[in-house]
Structures are given as structure tokens and as C-alpha cells.
Amino acid sequence: MTVNVCHGLSPIFSWGRWRTVLYYPLLIFLGSTLWVGCAGLYGLTAQDDSPHTTLPKQPPLSSTSPTHDLPNSNKELVQSHMETFDAESIAQDEQPQHALQETEAPRSPIQQPLAQTSSENPENIVLNFDNAELHKVVKVLADVLEINYLIDPKVKGTVNLHIRGEIAKTDLLALFDDIMRINRAAIIKIGPIHHIVPMAATTNTKLPIVSHPYNTEGSTMRHSRVAVHLVPLRYIAPTEVAKVIKPFLSPGSHIATYDKSQLLLFTEFTNNVKTIRSLIELFDTNVFEQATVRLYPIRLAQVNDIAQELEKIFEAFELPTKSGVGIGVNLVPIPRTNILLVISTIQESFDLVEHWLEQLDKETGGTEIKTYIYHVKNGIAEELSEILSSIFAQQKSDDRPARTAALTTQPQSSRASGSQDELTGEVTIIPYATTNTLIIKANPRDFDVVQGILEELDIIPRQVLIEVMVAEVTLNENLEYGVAYSFLNKGNPTVPRLMGSATGTLSADVLKIDAGERVNLLAQLRAHADESSVHVLASPHLLVTNGKEASLEIGDEIAIRTAVSEGPGVDPGAAEATVRKDTGTILKITPIINSTGLVTMDLDLEKSNVAPPAVGSSDVSISKRQAVTSMVVQDGETILVGGLIDETEREAIVKVPGLGDIPYIGSLFQTTTLNKSRIELVLLITPHVIRDIPDASEATARFVAKVHAIRNLMTDRGY
């Protein structure tokens, strides 16, 4: 049989039609005569025992005229005469011995062959499709295979197919499925209708369920049927297998896992299942059948120390030690029995372990007391000595002299020596301040414990560079309630919200200013200089170690008489007792840095000055404004502390020059006025956390740049 598929319509009066009417009857007659002659010749040669070549069996001629190619046409034309499929022969072909077990889903018929035939004999077929629409190709193949179908409108695509020669209908059926798979579609037979749906929509379709046994060797399925495949796993988690096989599934396939039952489910064309199963069997293997486990008792050293040292040795050989069972070497220390458990699939690795155990399992000095010198790198020897003394203060003893002292702190996450956090003897630690060193008397094992703790404590301390500006602002009507209050009520964006209040003799407003807005606030303070007098008292930069106090004092130290002794026998020089009192601007800050960069600052701000003595008294009075507060600031943020307002009243005499000084009548030319002034003390604080040497270098560079900018500004102005 010959099936020619071409595109286009031939003209009505074409040579092909005349050739069919006149020429083909003569051709059929000659062919019949030739067939009879060949049959007679075949009968004669069949009786001969000599070697010969058997002519292939030809199909019977049909009264229907054979089809022919119509060049340059766009309409599919298929005229074929094919025998009916035999359903039983295909079903037996699809389920050989050791075939996959198919389990029917609820109310879902088991997928049947798309067509039926009674013969697997190949037929002569010609298929030519160039960029043909998928729907048209489906119609052509369905007509050839004599099947009923229903196609989803979402199924679209193009087909480029060129076949010429003999092909069996079973192979044509597989070709039909492959065309659908390439276009991300699937054929599912439900009753007498073959549903053609997108591969992504197969989860909403009644698919057959194929249950795979553990051993599927030799199982195959011939055609590209879509089914839900259920694969049980033994040794590996389904989620891990899903990661491996997902790239090898057909486009649009779905995959799911059920870890509780060790099941893997996926939708796939059956002709690709064999590849997927091979991948699964490659990974789902019993690694314990290949792995070897050995126990090594450690006699002299500690098993944890030996395990860590062996890991470093194997890392030098680029042999993994923590990659999982079956890969590399796994070292499992058992401290309770001081035994090392070794698991490996590489037999030569055990020889390497035994070789190094002979070298490493040795005494480290026993209980002999030795003297060690530890040079403190970043901390202070006295402080480290106090900390270590507190750690080892709960020294316990039993019937054995100087036995174990347990650490009171939680073991650190990393230790240089890797030893146990226990002492086996007495430890003496003596600080030597002159050279900032520690003298440690202990046995070698205990010294490893102490040294591990010291290396965790003796690190570079973090510091804080605090930028401070202290200013006095004389308030007028526009700033009646203070600088911070005025900015808040004017909707100033540079002072977003109130942070808290201070505790002290006077209340204070503490405001947070985001990084980068400090310059805007200073500019606004300068802008208010026309309305009020802004006097900057100090603008220092203080570098403070974490947890240490920094102080700033700008002012005078005055003497105050505290007691007067009079009477006979009293030395006049010793009759008065005085004390000295610091006055002016006094600032004390103690920063504490946490791991995230937040800075907690304890602040004590004081502004004091000597007030005029009361009338008729020689005692000195001190006018003081003070704020004590604690605040939390992010690295680089600015805090505004305000609200420390001092009110003073002063009398002023205004007189006419000359006339106001005339005795008795000068008062007629004078006027006495009472002047009230309100001065607010404002403090701006910006902390910068310095964690390491690069941060310190960057802070120094910024400070030097500011100094150069000031020098250039003074030079430009002629100073």
C-alpha cells in the first residue's frame, strides 16, 4: 500500500485525472498478468531444493486506484487501504514477561492501544509534512489509524515529518505518540475516544497508574503512553531522587514524593520510563553493603583530639571526611569509651587511619606541671587573669588529688586546641602587668584548655568614635519652647520622632536623627542664628573602647569654703576649709556595642556656672543644668539631646549720659529695666563603630579630610 500525503489542490483538468481514467486500467491489467506469471514461477522454484531467493509476499490488489503525489498543494490527501489491527496481538506485544504491573485508577480504564490491527507487516507509506499545523497532522494520522479522537484547543504546534518506505502500523502508532510528546501533548484513551490534551493537563485526566516493583530488570513498554508511575524506594529519600530525575523527565511532566512510605510518583511517557528507572536504581542502592565499619580504641590521647587531627590530615589528601556514608571517610569519636569509629567504602583509607593512629596516639606530657608564658595581644593581663580565675573557681576534688574542675561557662563554638573543657590538675595564673603577659603553671593538657579560652578572649576590642557638638541657643519668641520642640511642631523632616526623656535635675528631649541628616540640622541651627544666638561650646571627637567611659570637661575649677572654725587656740590659717568644684560643661559617655552594631550609651551631661552671691552673703552658689540618660543608637545615627533651658533675670539701668550721673537728681534721667533670657543647652551625638583596623583607618582619613577642609577655608578667608 502506498500513502502519499502532499499539500495543495490540483487543477480540475489535470493530467493526473486523465491518467487515472485512461492509463491506470491498462496498468492494472498488465500488473495482474505479471502477478499470475510470478506466482507460477514461485510454485516451480519452491519444489527445487537448490538455493534461491524468495520473493517478498505482495498484498492483494485493490480495485481502488492508488494515490499519487500532487505537487505544490496545501490540502492533505490520504488514500490508504490498510488491514485492521488485531487488539490481542498488540496487547501481548506491550506486556511481555517481567512487564510493569499496571493498576487501574478509580473509574479510569486501563489505556488500550490507539488502534487495532491483525498484522504487523509493514506497509509502504509516504508522509511529507513541512511546517504543517498539528491539528491537520492529527486528522491525517487518525484517518490512517482509523481511530476516534477529541483534541484540546490548547494543543498547538507544527510538524516537520518526511517518511518514505515500509512502516508497520504499530510503529506508526508510536510515531503518532512521539509527535504529541514533542508538542508537549499526550494521547489518553477513555472508552472509544482518544483524548489529546496538553501534557500539563494530564493531572486532571483519568490516567492509568503503573506500579513498579523493586526489580524491573527487563521490563519495557513499547509505545509513548502517558501514565502515573508509582516507584517504591528502599534506601534513599524520595525528595533526593526527585531532584536527580526531574531534569530528565519530559516537558510538562509532574513529580511528587511521599516520604512516609518512601514513594515517588511522576507522570511520564512509557518509552522514557526505562531511562528514569535506570537513574533511580543507580542512586537507590544499599551503601552499607559496600561500606566498612571499624572501631579503633584510643589508649593515650583523647578521641576528640585524634578525630580533629585526622580530619585535617585527610583534608590535606583532599579526601572528604563529612560527606555522608559511602563517600570518603567518616570519623565518629565516642568520648564515653574513648573509641574512634571509622566508616569508609575505600579499603585503603583504613590503612591510612591505622598509620596515623600510631603516630598520634601518644602521651602529651602526662600530669607533669610546666610553666608557660602567654603574651597578651589585645587585652589586659590583669583582666584576663580575673576572668580565668572566675572560670576555674569551682575546682572540685575527690579521692584523687587535684582532679577535675568543670567550666562554668558554655563551651565555645571553636577552640584552637580542641581539648575537653575540663582540667585534670591544678592551674595557676599570674598576671605580669609590666610586659602584659600571663604566667601559667599547668600540665600540658590543662594548658591547652586555658590557651583555647584565652584565644577566644584575647581579641581586638571594638571601639566607638563619638562625634559630639555642645551648643547654647538663646531662645526668642520663635523658639519659645526649645529647639527640639520647635522643629517637631514645624514638621521638620530632619527630626523625625521623640526617642525618650532623660532623668536628672531637668527634663531633656532625646531625638533620633537618621544618618546623613545631621548636616541639615546644623544648617538649620545656623539659619536660626539671626533669630537667636547660637554659641558652640565644644565639638570634640572622642574614641572610646567598648565598655569604657569617656569624659569631656570645659570650664573652671573654683574653690568653695565649706567650714569656718573660730575660737581661742584656733590657727587663723586653718580656720577655713575649702573644696574645689569643677564647673562649666562636663560630658561623660559610656558606650556598649552589641553584635549587630547597636550602641547603648549611658550619658551624663552637666552645664554649671557660678551664680552671683545673694545680698548680704559671701557663700558661692552654682547654677547647674544636668541630664542623665541611657539611649540605644544605630551605628552612624545622630541623637539630639535638648530641653535643658536656663532662665535668668537681670536688671539693666538706662540713663542719659552725663545727666544720669548727677547726684540726687540723676535718678530722674535713669530707667531701670528687667531683662529675662532663656538659654537652651543642645547636645548632638553621632557614634561610629570601629570593628577592626580598616575601620579605624577610614575614620582617621575622614578626620584628616575635615582638618584639611578647615585649613583651606581659613586660607581662603585670609586667616
pLDDT over threshold 90, residue 694: no
Q: Which amino acid, 441?
A: K
Residues sharing a CB contact under 8 Å with residue 447, sequence separation 6 or more, in sequence order: 370, 372, 440
Kindly report the average pLDDT of the chain as a whole number.
Answer: 70
CB 345 within 8 A of CB 319: no
Q: What is the CATH number of domain 122-206?
A: 3.30.1370.120
pLDDT tens-place string over residues 624-646: 888 888 888 888 888 888 777 77
Per-residue b or e along 104-142, where b marks 16 or more CB atoms closer than 10 Å to that residue's CB: eeeeeeebbbbbbbebeeebebbbbbeebebebbbebbb
Per-residue b or e along 446-473, where b marks 16 or more CB atoms closer than 10 Å to that residue's CB: bbbbbbbbbbeebeeebbbbbbbbbbbb
pLDDT mean over 7-16? 43
Question: SS3 of 175, please?
Answer: helix
> 45 or 530, which is more confident?
530
pLDDT mean over 545-552? 89
Distance CA 150, CA 181 (A): 16
Lowest mean pLDDT among 69-83, 198-212, 486-500: 69-83
Q: How confident is the model at residue 351 (pLDDT cuts 50, 70, 90)?
A: confident
pLDDT mean over 148-174? 82
By C-alpha distance, which of 271, 457, 317 is closest to 374? Answer: 457
pLDDT at position 446, please?
85
Kindly report the backbone phi and psi dihedral angles of residue 713, in degrees, each rounded to the nearest multiple of 5, phi listed first.
-65, -40
Give me the residue label for grid cell 587656740.
Answer: 569
> 230 or 42, which is more confident?
230
Q: What is the share, in percent, of the chain residues with pLDDT greater than 70?
A: 62
Residue 378 C-beta-side C-alpha neighbours within 13 Å: 13
pLDDT at position 439, please?
94
Distance CA 363, CA 360 (A): 9
Which grid coordinates are listed for 609? 556656672
Domain boundaries, the chain: 122-206, 288-360, 365-394+424-459
Question: SS3 of 91, please?
Answer: helix
CB 482 within 8 A of CB 509: yes
CB atoms under 10 Å from CB of 75, counted, come to 11
Calculate the CA dihedral of residues 645, 646, 651, 654 and round it to 10 degrees. -40
Residue 582 C-beta-side C-alpha neighbours within 13 Å: 10
Distance CA 496, CA 518 (A): 12
By C-alpha distance, which of 668, 592, 671, 662 is closest to 632? Answer: 592
Distance CA 428, CA 682 (A): 52
Q: How confident is the model at residue 520 (pLDDT cuts 50, 70, 90)?
A: low
**Is residue 35 within a helix (H) or strand (E), and if so which, with residue range?**
helix 24-46
122-206 and 288-360 share one CATH topology? Answer: yes
pLDDT at position 79, please?
34
By C-alpha distance, which of 348, 365, 358 is closest to 296? Answer: 358
pLDDT at position 343, please?
85
pLDDT mean over 159-179? 80
Which grid coordinates are listed for 255? 513529580
Strands 370-375 and 329-334: unpaired
pLDDT at position 617, please?
64
CB 295 within 8 A of CB 340: yes
* DSSP string for 670-716: EEEEEEEEEEEEEEEEEEEEE-SHHHHHHHHHHHHHHHHHHHHHHHH
Distance CA 373, CA 356 (A): 31
Lowest mean pLDDT among 412-421, 440-449, 583-592, 703-712: 412-421
pLDDT over threshold 80, residue 31: no
Q: How confident is the model at residue 331 (pLDDT cuts 50, 70, 90)?
A: confident
pLDDT tens-place string over residues 111-126: 334 444 444 566 777 8
CB 265 within 8 A of CB 230: yes
Residue 418 C-beta-side C-alpha neighbours within 13 Å: 13
Q: Which amino acid, 94?
A: E
Give me the residue label for grid cell 519659645.
Answer: 480
Question: SS3 of 356, please?
Answer: helix
pLDDT at position 145, please?
81
pLDDT tens-place string over residues 34-88: 665 554 444 433 334 433 333 334 344 333 333 333 333 333 333 333 333 333 3
CB 629 within 8 A of CB 603: yes
Lowest mean pLDDT among 81-85, 95-99, 337-341: 81-85
Which grid coordinates are listed for 252? 510538562
Residues sharing a CB contact under 8 Å with residue 571, sequence separation 6 or more, in sequence order: none
Q: Is the dihedral of CA 64, 66, 69, 70 positive or negative?
A: negative
DSSP tag of 413: S
Which grid coordinates are listed for 84? 485492521
> 328 or 681, which is more confident?
681
pLDDT at position 394, please?
56
pLDDT at position 25, please?
64
Which grid coordinates are listed for 399? 579521692
Fold of 365-394+424-459: Ribosomal Protein S8; Chain: A, domain 1 (3.30.1370)
By C-alpha distance, which of 442, 428, 447 is closest to 370? Answer: 442
CB 136 within 8 A of CB 12: no
pLDDT at position 511, please?
52
CATH 3.60.15.10, domain 288-360, yes or no: no
Question: SS3 of 348, please?
Answer: helix
Q: Which amino acid, 180?
A: M
Give me the residue label for grid cell 553584635.
Answer: 595
Question: SS3 of 265, please?
Answer: strand
pLDDT tens-place string over residues 417-446: 334 456 777 889 999 999 999 999 988 888
Question: SS3 of 332, please?
Answer: strand
The side-by-side arrangement of strands in the sheet containing 255-258 is 101-103, 209-211, 226-232, 263-269, 255-258
Distance of alpha carbon 540 from its chain centroid, rounded?
42
pLDDT at position 480, please?
54
Rounded to a whole number of angstroms, the CA Rg of the chain reads: 50
Residues sharing a CB contact under 8 Å with residue 650, sequence separation 6 or more, in sequence order: 674, 675, 677
Distance CA 264, CA 249 (A): 13
pLDDT tens-place string over residues 452-468: 899 888 888 888 998 88
Question: SS3 of 619, please?
Answer: coil
pLDDT over threshold 50, residue 495: no
